[in-house]
Amino acid sequence: MLTTSTVAAILAFCSLSSAKPLNRKWEPSGSANTGSAVSYTTADIPGTATGWPHHHETSSTSSYYSSLSYAHSASTAVDVPECTASPDSGDSSSNTGSSGNAGNSGNSGGSGDSTTTITTTVASGPATPTGLSKVAQILLSDTRADAINNVLKDDADFVFDFNKARKFGPGAGGEVVQANRKAFPALTGTGIGMAVGFLGPCGFNTPHVHNRATELLIVTKGRVVSEMVVENGVEDADKKPRDITNTLEELQATPYFMGALHTQYNPDCGNVTFVAPLSSEDFGANTMAQAYFALEDDTIRAAAGNQITGADVDKFRGIISTNVALGVEQCLKKCNIPKSS
């Protein structure tokens, strides 16, 4: 929400910029004082426009812009609201003035229209390349407004349906549906993502880390047993790596720090749902058992003090679970779930 003083400041800015400036760098030679209902917009792509100070009518800005190459120099645009007034509103104060043709301020000069209408506009497109993924287009848009106007055109672009995104697999114990920016492009540039976990009876979200995010998991249905091993040096009384273990009831939450090894399982015979915001739109996951057994046999044997044989390594590889697996033995017994299912 804008505060009252912010709104007042914006209005003051608008009336200033629509007043005829004293230090006008150029005088339009054309249609300035005609009083016709033509308005001009401010081009917001510095360094590329040709033909300045020709005027560009609102109705033709799209073709004007589409003739511009996207490979323009770094933007010097400032995120201030632009004030589109009736044609005689004066030079826009967004003129950078750094050189004779640096500013693309297109508002024509002149005076005489007493009813100045003040609206806030944003520069019209493209300022967004085409033919790329939505995420890439958003990343390459000149402004957030360009991205939303040109890429996220449908209101439905702002909704992600975790229920519809479910695949009901591949693990037997449930699944974790991830809304990163690839799955949900509207997140691009926001620095936030989300995962929603559906764990069946005894379902087990196998140990993993998130490469680029801290997670804040809240249980919304059922109970979750949570474990986290943070990093070297976080130890229990026996000087062993500390395993922070909690049973989370409904609406209880726990954080998993970026890079910390963590896992969850459903200790009960009903379904569990948890919701996990993550502090990155591209949080990533590295599932530890799979990652470890992706190493060379000799490396794995060396890491285990050469106490296991090559055949053992293959055997372990064969029993690595999918991400969400059927978990802990005692739960399987309690819920009468055969181990192989």
Q: Which residues bind ligand NAG (CB under 6 A)?
A: 198, 200, 270-271
CB of 171 to ligand NAG, least distance (A): 12
CB of 289 to ligand NAG, least distance (A): 24
CB of 69 to ligand NAG, least distance (A): 51
3-state DSSP assignment of residue 319: coil
Tell me how far the alpha carbon of residue 73 is from its chain's centroid: 25
> Considering beta carbons, is residue 80 or 165 the nearer one to ligand NAG?
165
Question: CA distances (Å), 51 to each of 17, 47, 102, in order?
Answer: 23, 12, 12
Instruction: Check residue 250 and give left, alpha or beta (phi > 0: left; psi -120 to 50: alpha).
Output: beta
Structure tokens at 57: 């009518």
Query: Cβ(264)–Cβ(199) under 8 Å?
Result: yes
Structure tokens at 205: 């979200």
> Considering beta carbons, is residue 40 or 198 the nearer one to ligand NAG?
198
Structure tokens at 224: 């979750």
Structure tokens at 329: 């033995």
CB of 165 to ligand NAG, least distance (A): 13
CB of 168 to ligand NAG, least distance (A): 6
> Considering beta carbons, is residue 121 or 271 the nearer one to ligand NAG?
271
CB of 159 to ligand NAG, least distance (A): 21
Q: What whole-number distance in Å separates Cα of residue 221 and Cα of residue 224?
A: 9
For 79, the enclosing helix (H) or strand (E) is none
Torsion of CA 107, 108, 113, 116, to 10 degrees: 10
> Considering beta carbons, is residue 47 or 270 the nearer one to ligand NAG?
270
Nearest residue (beta carbon) to ligand NAG: 271
CB of 332 to ligand NAG, least distance (A): 16
Residue 140: Cβ within 10 Å count: 15
> Considering beta carbons, is residue 175 or 281 the nearer one to ligand NAG?
175
> Considering beta carbons, is residue 100 or 270 the nearer one to ligand NAG?
270
Query: Cβ(72)–Cβ(129) under 8 Å?
Result: no
> Considering beta carbons, is residue 97 or 270 the nearer one to ligand NAG?
270
CB of 334 to ligand NAG, least distance (A): 16
User: What does the DSSP 8-state code read for residue 221?
Assistant: E
Q: Is the peptide bond before 53 cis (omega within 30 degrees of 0)?
A: yes
> Considering beta carbons, is residue 91 or 268 the nearer one to ligand NAG?
268
CB of 271 to ligand NAG, least distance (A): 4
Instruction: Count CA atoms within 13 Å of residue 65 on its CB side.
Output: 22
3-state DSSP assignment of residue 274: strand
The 3-class secondary structure across 23-59, one letter per residue, is CCCCCCCCCHHHCCCCCECCCCCCCCCCCCCCCCEHH
> Considering beta carbons, is residue 212 or 334 the nearer one to ligand NAG?
334
